[in-house]
Amino acid sequence: MIEPNTIYLINKDNFANQVSVLVKICMTLKYAKKEPINQDVFIEYVTIALSTGKCIVLVTFDKDNKLNCCIVLFIKDNPVKGRILWIEWAWANTKSKALSKKVFDKIEEVARKANANKIAGAMTHGFNAVFKLYGLKEEYRVMAKDVKKEVKNVKDV
């Protein structure tokens, strides 16, 4: 039985038994309106990363057994900064500050167990709220540029 607002951890050791949870995460992705995600690419990406032991997924469910929070974490070894627990992707359908605090405390616990020196991540939405709430400091600036795809002529293929 799944307990509401309990943080469940999916990792290399148990991900094969958590296929139904990974499918539930993918079904929930359609609600990520600000940054739509291709469900097939996401499940392949996360499954491969879980199997290598470099990924950890944290999930919580509400009282109706619906996913209300999912955090995808990667363990990255940076030659300059050392080991970093990177928040690759996060989705939450909750306004509960208590649950949010509980989830971030769990992220810190995972970081300690992984011998990470830092917790880092990039975000496009909610930066100020997360920044203040968890006492984060700016350390990186992320820059990006879209790559224009070449339009191939049928004759070029």
Q: Which of 60-69, 124-133, 134-143 has the lowest mean pLDDT?
A: 124-133
For the segment 12-66, what is each residue's pLDDT rounded down to a tens digit?
999 888 888 888 888 777 666 666 678 888 888 889 999 999 999 999 988 888 8
For the segment 70-80, what is each residue's pLDDT rounded down to a tens digit?
889 999 999 99
Reply yes or no on whether the pLDDT at 157 is more than 70.
no
Pairing of strands 67-78, 82-92: antiparallel
Catalogue all structural domains in the chain, each as residue range(s) with its CATH number: 8-156 (3.40.630.30)
Three-state SS string over the chain comes to CCCCCCCEEECCCCHHHHHHHHHHHHHHHHHCCCCCCCHHHHHHHHHHHHHHCCEEEEEEECCCCCEEEEEEEEEEEECCCEEEEEEEEEEECCCCHHHHHHHHHHHHHHHHHCCCCEEEECCCCCHHHHHHHCCCCCCCCCCCCCCCCCCCCHHHC
